[in-house]
Amino acid sequence: MYTIQPCSFILEPHKEQETNRKNGCEKMSTITTVNGKRVKTSWWLRLIRHFSSKYQLYLMLLPAVVLLICFYYVPMYGLQLAFRKYTPQMGLTGGDFVGAKYIKKFIQSYQFWTLIKNTLSISITSLLLCFPFPIILALVINQIRRPDAKQFVQTVAYIPHFISTVAMVGMVKIMLSPSTGLWGYLYAFFDAKAPNVLATPSSFKWLYACIQLWQHTGWNSIIYVAALSSVDVQLYDAAKVDGANRLQQMWNIELPSILPTIIILLILNVGHLLGASFEMIYLLQNDANIAASEVISTYVYKIGIKASNQISYSTAIGLFNNVVNFVILIVINAISNKVTQTSLF
């Protein structure tokens, strides 16, 4: 004899399905009753029922899933080129299998440590300089009380993100020209000779980080502004009663409230340490600063497409780069989960 719970429903005549409530959500049981006998429901039937009850949600997800499969997972078929000696005549699968030959070749090459050093140097500098500023900007925007002023500041901060990388680099090259740019005129005003920043290897990582800061600070602050909008207003009222000023409210209420968001985004950023922006670095690169600006992504482009046409070798380097990024992501995520109890999974 079974008691029908409030969340139970009739599937067919003479059929009842048991349901349990766990943490406020309905969890369907795999046991049904047919003519008074307990029968286990097959997994495919439960799957059909689940999809039929939530088909609107899956229809909304369908375009994103198709895009992900077509442009991310299907091209992964080409990763086998890293383990084959590719020639256009033999096609994608016709080359001789060579194992990890090209990965070993890259690790043993004289460019390996230079590329790793340049990539890490540029990425770490950009991370240290660019990561805190969106948080600060979001905290400042949240303190603006007038809606029109708040919208104006947000609009001005977001605009650089929509400037193309090519246009952005072109503007930077014009402004930093030692002879005709704003940089040169500023030094000439003080009767000094302007240094050529674009041709100085030691300045390249700082130049790259500053451009990233200018272009993406406003856009990256959106998620923090959204997180701050969910802070309980009663916390501010209690802080005001206790005599806390705005700086104390930011430090004791707002910053702890968005700390999980900060940690998640930090993990994601650290997971791209070897993924420095190819477009901007390649456009800023020249013969004078190439000692500091040659990174893994630009090297792969040059040997794989531009000059040498070594498809298998460049694929192996790209695979090595992605595997290292994935390992870093997993390690940082595990450390964060152990230390702060916040992680991606």
**What tokens were used for 152?**
């104006």
pLDDT at 169: 92
pLDDT at 33: 54
Distance CA 39, CA 18 (A): 11
Q: What is the dihedral of CA 70, 325, 295, 112, to 10 degrees?
A: -120
pLDDT at 310: 85
Question: Is 345 inside a domain boundary?
Answer: no
pLDDT at 15: 40
Number of domains in the chain: 2
Helix 204-220 to helix 132-143 angle, to the nearest 10 degrees? 40
pLDDT at 181: 84
Are residue 313 and residue 215 in the same domain, yes or no? yes
Are residue 113 and residue 217 in the same domain, yes or no? yes
Closest CA to 217 of 280, 128, 137, 127: 137
Are residue 143 and residue 2 in the same domain, yes or no? no
pLDDT at 28: 43
Distances (CA, A) of 165 to 13, 82, 113, 284, 306: 64, 30, 28, 10, 20
**What tokens were used for 111?**
């460019």
Distance CA 16, CA 32 (A): 6
Question: Is 329 inside a domain boundary?
Answer: yes
Are residue 225 and residue 323 in the same domain, yes or no? yes
Are residue 6 and residue 149 in the same domain, yes or no? no
Q: 8 is in which domain, residue-wise?
A: 1-53
pLDDT at 35: 56
DSSP state of 343: -
Question: Is 283 inside a domain boundary?
Answer: yes
pLDDT at 246: 86
**HEC assignment per residue over the chain:** CCCCCCCCCEEECCEEEEEEEECCEEEEEEEEEECCEEEECCHHHHHHHHHHHCHHHHHHHHHHHHHHHHHHHHHHHHHHHHHEECCCCCCCCCCEECCCHHHHHHHHCCCHHHHHHHHHHHHHHHHHHHCHHHHHHHHHHHHCCCHHHHHHHHHHHHHHHHCCHHHHHHHHHHHCCCCCCHHHHHHHHCCCCCCCHHHCHHHHHHHHHHHHHHHHHHHHCHHHHHHHCCCCHHHHHHHHHCCCCHHHHHHHHHHHHCHHHHHHHHHHHHCCCCCCCHHHHHHHCCCCCHHHHCCHHHHHHHHHHHCCCCHHHHHHHHHHHHHHHHHHHHHHHHHHHHHHCCCCC
Are residue 154 and residue 226 in the same domain, yes or no? yes
Distances (CA, A) of 297 to 20, 237, 277, 315: 52, 51, 8, 11
Which CATH number do you get for residue 296?
1.10.3720.10
Are residue 34 and residue 138 in the same domain, yes or no? no
| pTM exceeding the 0.75 threshold for the entire prediction | yes
Contacts for 229-233: CB closer than 8 Å, 24+ residues apart = 229/142, 230/257, 231/257
Are residue 279 and residue 167 in the same domain, yes or no? yes
Average pLDDT of each block of 10 consecutive residues along the chain (345 residues)? 40 40 43 56 79 86 92 87 83 79 92 93 93 93 89 92 92 89 87 88 93 92 91 88 88 91 91 85 92 92 82 90 91 89 82
Are residue 121 and residue 257 in the same domain, yes or no? yes
Distance CA 125, CA 205 (A): 7
Are residue 263 and residue 176 in the same domain, yes or no? yes
